[in-house]
Structure 1
Amino acid sequence: MRSRRRRARLARDSRAVIQVVGAMVWLAAHPAHAALKEAPLAMRCAELAGAVLQPELIALPTAGVQIESAAMVSATAPGNQQGGEYCRITGRIKGFNATTPDIRFDLNLPRRWNGRALQIGGGGYNGVVVSGTGVMPFSPNRAPLAQGYATFGDDSGHVGDSSVAVFGLVDEAVTNFGFAHLKKTHDAALALIARAYGRPPQRMYFAGGSTGGREGYTVMQRYPDDYDGVIANSPALNFTGVRLLGVKLGQAEYGTPGGFISPMLLEHVYQRTLATCDRLDGAADGIVSDVAACREHEAEIIESLRCGGRTPSHDECLTDTQLSTLLVMRDGLSLPYRLAWDVDGYRGYNIFQGTHLTGLLGLAHQPERLQVPTFFANGYLFAQGDGYIRYFVARDAGFDSLRLDPQHPGKYRAQLVALSQTIGAMNPDLTRYIARGGKLITLQGLADEVISPNQTIAYYDKLVDRFGIDQVNSFMRLYMVPGFQHGSGVFIPSVDLLGALDNWVTRGASPETLTATDIAAATNGRSRPLCRYPLFPRYIGKGNVNLAGSFVCAEP
């Protein structure tokens, strides 16, 4: 144990030396600015405006960094909810190739710095700069910037909303999106932090969800020496797998006559699962908490939904074809070939265990497929999968994704495998990160309709198989939340994961059962224990059903 801590300390010290040397090299090249180390932050901030960072400061190939703006934001400035003054820096990391879009980034340096830095991930296909000034999703505390963290984020190297996949036509932009933007922005931010404060951060953290969750696992796998702790929620680890499943789901909905399921019928499915499974955890609270017990009732739920000999009704029963559409999502995808890291498919969803499929990120809302599918009209998974196949795989904007057989992709197979290596984060080898003492917290909903909770659990199981449960427990916490979907749901947990991570990294206080407060509009304020996987909250049979103290974390 002592030797492992010593190795971790040496690694951090080595990283610090490299960062400080980078700052010293810059100061040596700018002797008029050598006094900045002792100058107030406002002066050092102003001096960074218009600065250029040379490519040598970035570990991956770039054409350098251009700082576009650097100015202090006063504590009383309109819109500043951070509770203090900070230096806001915006910049661009130039593509190695002139035709590659820049990586735009924001960096915020608080006047009262706590010596820590936090890189924040994006979502979907990114395309919008992560400002780093707000409260972390589902966190009840003040924004990290207000707590004294230096915060930064970027757009992953292209411009557009999170649904736009057109940048998939540009090779370097795809590499940036997959992993390179994380390292490039990290290195640029650390050089600027060292220049502004005269020293590098004592701790470097990463936090993100969905695509940002994938990015969290990516930095542990690819750049383990750069981070001390990671929060990676609802992680899109198997990015290619989930996109292929989205296409298969679209084929069931739109490529098969009668495969579309109306929102009214989907609501009927959801209500039937609640009627069967809500009370299995001891409480009638609108949450399916005991997913394992609910799964034992799955066959009877499906049969109760089947029209059978009855005349199909628009709101009472499902045809066999419609049930087959749901089974595509439940069963996931099995591939006769291997993606990167020996991945052979994508795990299915908890369709009949309390997952609601009528929201913006659920299944299709209209029976006609648009030429360019949208989230609401044609379903999130299919719309995202369609864009992936068009721009990343076929690299043809006019390609019809329904023509691609995910299980037998023919000439596109090599591209799919290559993309799964570039964008995916399924590598279970976290040896270096663990050896350095890095920590990881992952939170995800058991009712997630975008990223399958069973895929996240499968990756966790791979870690246990590789390292053993004791070693996994030494660096990882997995919290699977009943009723929580992909940012919505009947239970939306609010909990201070950054505080838990920081206490674990700096004080050795490993998080166990946490308490989450519900921020869903209809049930705002109730609380539940946030149980470590595979435990779930079970009602003890007495006490206020809206209080966490009335529940225990139980074995499934």
Structure 2
Amino acid sequence: MKFTAATLALLASASYAYADQTPEDCSALRDTVFDGGYVTSARVLSPEGLPQYCEVRATALPAISIEVRLPLSGWNGKFYQAGCGGFCGILGRADSGQSWVNAMRPGLERGYATATSDSGHHGLSVTEATWAQDNPDAERDWGWRSIGETNRVAQVMIDAFYGTASSGAIFQGCSTGGRMAHVAAQRYPEMFDGIISGAPAMDYTGLVGTAMSWVLQANTAEDGSQILGPDEAAKIGAAVLEQCDGTDGAEDGVIADPRACKVDYSSLELTDEQLDTLVKWREGPRNAAGEQLYPGGIPEGSEPFWWLWLTGNAEGAGKLVSGFANGFTRHMAFAEDPGTDYSPLSFDFEADPARMATAVSVYNGDSPDLSAFRAAGGKMIVYHGWADSIVTPYKTVEWYEQAAEAAGGEAALNETVKLFMIPGLDHCGILPGPDGVNWSSLDPMGPLEAWLADGTVPASIMAK
């Protein structure tokens, strides 16, 4: 979703009904007064490749840090809000890189006023969760309130800067940002005209509490050592590709749909313990009665990305599943936080899922009932990579099927919601796939804008 200099120049020269603003107008925002918060700074920035904009930093009480970016010229009259990844806690983190995922940049490039937040706390990394220890207010802000407060404060700044309210609004997020997108559609059904949800971690308790604990327990031997590592991941991935690449009719290095992939691992040099772990990873978490606790497991075709999410690599990098599962179960999952002495290796699949009932009501956005959002005329694009091994895609497919049933059929749902499953795509397209597919291969903004403007239902979100 990166624009060329020529495209940006065309946007800047387009005729809008909104007057240009000055640096003095930006500085004046420091004195903006609003309920439940305050402005901390306002300054003009002129980054290379982006329109000049007024950056406003504000706090929504008690502790939600918000950044609003207001283009000085060429404002299109609309608003664009971005989510955040992991446990968040780092304001504007996504805009420090090149990806458009969870970033404000795509909106700013297209003339939107934009905003994001840290979701209500400061963290040293997106896997740090100590902020939530015995802090239900912070958990509430992370769960849902920061979405509404970011929007509220941004609208105050838009009105103060341009002298008018925005005429439309879009939300974009992936992973936790995707969870936020679903929460927005359910808790704030009239707030956003369009929503982009990528790899949505919509059932945080089921995913980060139950499923990630399952992954860690299955891959930990009695002596505490790791059972499957990067070497085994490479062997498994090679077997998957050899046996399943052609199931879609094309041998292109990509598994089109892992549900059609049946692999015989008997020829691999894997121990019984390693094979048992692999079976558990593929099946996903179950209780003693064999009941599925979270849909599906780790998909075939995701093995090239296991080092980052599941196994680590030879240099000791990656294996982020451990950080997320530890932080969540210690500080966020239960009504009474067990703290740092707890380990997801102790997670009880019989009792602990029910112990997360309070967290379900605060964090999760997996309800298939989108009736209020649909009645408000909202449009929603959901996308997920078939090769996502950390937020496995089967939950998204299940949610979509349930949402279609609740809407009266897939055709009725598609008037409002479209799902795109992307073969070979890593989680949020962070790592490039075997065929090079990553975040830069996607452009959901263009199709969403067309859908909102003239009713053209998206047929694809692949970048052209």
Aligned to 2:247: 280
Matches within 5 A, 1:229-244: 229-243=194-208, 244=210
Q: C-alpha distance in 2, partners of 1:131/1:356?
A: 25
Matched, 1:88 2:69: no
Equivalent residue in structure 2 for 1:153, among 116, 128, 131: 116
Equivalent residue in structure 1 for 2:349, among 381, 386, 406: 406
Residue 514 of structure 1: CA displacement?
4.3
Task: Kindly provide the CA deviation profile for residues 103-153 of structure 1, in whole angstroms up to 9, marking residues without a partner as x.
Answer: 1111001121001110000000001112786765269x9832122110100
Aligned to 1:30: none
Q: C-alpha distance in 2, partners of 1:419/1:335?
A: 20
Which one has a larger percent strand, Structure 1 or Structure 2? Answer: 1
Task: Kindly provide the CA deviation profile for residues 47-67 of structure 1, in whole angstroms up to 9, marking residues without a partner as x.
Answer: 11143311xxxxxxxxx2111
Matched, 1:246 2:212: yes
Tell me: CA distance 1:39–1:331, structure 2 relative to 1, closer, same or farther (3 Å).
closer
Q: C-alpha distance in 2, partners of 1:291/1:400?
A: 31
Structure 2 residue ranges without an equivalent (≥5): 1-17
Aligned to 1:47: 28
Matched, 1:67 2:34: no
- The SS at the match of 2:171 is strand
Q: C-alpha distance in 2, partners of 1:334/1:238?
A: 16
Aligned to 2:459: 512
Tell me: CA distance 1:375–1:127, structure 2 relative to 1, closer, same or farther (3 Å).
farther
Residue 278 of structure 1: CA displacement?
1.3
Counterpart residue identity of residue 332, structure 1: G
Matched, 1:363 2:322: no
Residue 363 of structure 1: CA displacement?
2.4
Residue 350 of structure 1: CA displacement?
4.4
Scaled by the length of structure 2, what TM-score is found? 0.86
State the identity %.
28
Matched, 1:492 2:438: yes
Matched, 1:193 2:193: no
Greater C-alpha Rg: 1
Residue 81 of structure 1: CA displacement?
2.4
Counterpart residue identity of residue 203, structure 1: G
Q: C-alpha distance in 2, partners of 1:349/1:360?
A: 17
Matches within 5 A, 1:7-406: 40-54=21-35, 64-73=36-45, 77=46, 79-82=47-50, 84-95=51-62, 102-111=63-72, 112-130=74-92, 137=100, 143-160=106-123, 161-169=125-133, 170-243=135-208, 244-256=210-222, 260-294=227-261, 297-298=262-263, 301-305=264-268, 317-334=269-286, 345-365=293-313, 376=318, 379-392=319-332, 393=334, 394-406=337-349
Q: C-alpha distance in 2, partners of 1:39/1:269?
A: 57
Tell me: CA distance 1:38–1:281, structure 2 relative to 1, closer, same or farther (3 Å).
closer
Residue 166 of structure 1: CA displacement?
0.7
- The SS at the match of 2:412 is helix
Residues 193, 200 of structure 1: 8 Å contact kept: yes
Q: C-alpha distance in 1, partners of 2:109/2:312?
A: 40
- The SS at the match of 1:143 is helix
Tell me: CA distance 1:303–1:465, structure 2 relative to 1, closer, same or farther (3 Å).
farther
Tell me: CA distance 1:495–1:400, structure 2 relative to 1, closer, same or farther (3 Å).
closer
Q: C-alpha distance in 2, partners of 1:408/1:420?
A: 15
Task: Kindly provide the CA deviation profile for residues 317-371 of structure 1, in whole angstroms up to 9, marking residues without a partner as x.
Answer: 222221222222211124589xxxxx972122344345435422232458xxxxx
Residues 270, 356 of structure 1: 8 Å contact kept: yes
Q: Larger deviation: 245-254 or 181-190?
A: 245-254
Tell me: CA distance 1:269–1:38, structure 2 relative to 1, closer, same or farther (3 Å).
closer
Residue 164 of structure 1: CA displacement?
0.3
Residues 136, 144 of structure 1: 8 Å contact kept: no
Structure 1 residue ranges without an equivalent (≥5): 1-36, 55-63, 96-101, 306-316, 338-342, 367-373, 518-556
Tell me: CA distance 1:425–1:136, structure 2 relative to 1, closer, same or farther (3 Å).
same
Q: Larger deviation: 472-481 or 127-136?
A: 127-136
- The SS at the match of 2:310 is coil
Task: Kindly provide the CA deviation profile for residues 452-498 of structure 1, in whole angstroms up to 9, marking residues without a partner as x.
Answer: 10111010011011112121110111111111111222222523211
Superposition RMSD on alpha carbons, in Å? 2.7
Counterpart residue identity of residue 166, structure 1: T
Residues 213, 234 of structure 1: 8 Å contact kept: yes
Tell me: CA distance 1:138–1:127, structure 2 relative to 1, closer, same or farther (3 Å).
closer
Q: C-alpha distance in 2, partners of 1:131/1:45?
A: 23
Residue 499 of structure 1: CA displacement?
1.6
Residues 214, 425 of structure 1: 8 Å contact kept: yes
- The SS at the match of 2:205 is helix
Q: C-alpha distance in 2, partners of 1:178/1:42?
A: 35
Q: Larger deviation: 257-266 or 273-282?
A: 257-266
Counterpart residue identity of residue 339, structure 2: D
Q: How many residues align?
A: 429
Q: C-alpha distance in 1, partners of 2:153/2:303?
A: 41
Counterpart residue identity of residue 453, structure 2: T
- The SS at the match of 1:90 is strand
Q: C-alpha distance in 1, partners of 2:219/2:460?
A: 41
Counterpart residue identity of residue 361, structure 1: W
Q: C-alpha distance in 1, partners of 2:461/2:366?
A: 27
Q: C-alpha distance in 2, partners of 1:138/1:219?
A: 17
Residues 41, 196 of structure 1: 8 Å contact kept: no
Residues 131, 154 of structure 1: 8 Å contact kept: no
Q: C-alpha distance in 1, partners of 2:199/2:396?
A: 8
Q: Larger deviation: 397-406 or 106-115?
A: 397-406
Residues 249, 382 of structure 1: 8 Å contact kept: no
Residues 289, 483 of structure 1: 8 Å contact kept: yes
Tell me: CA distance 1:109–1:265, structure 2 relative to 1, closer, same or farther (3 Å).
same
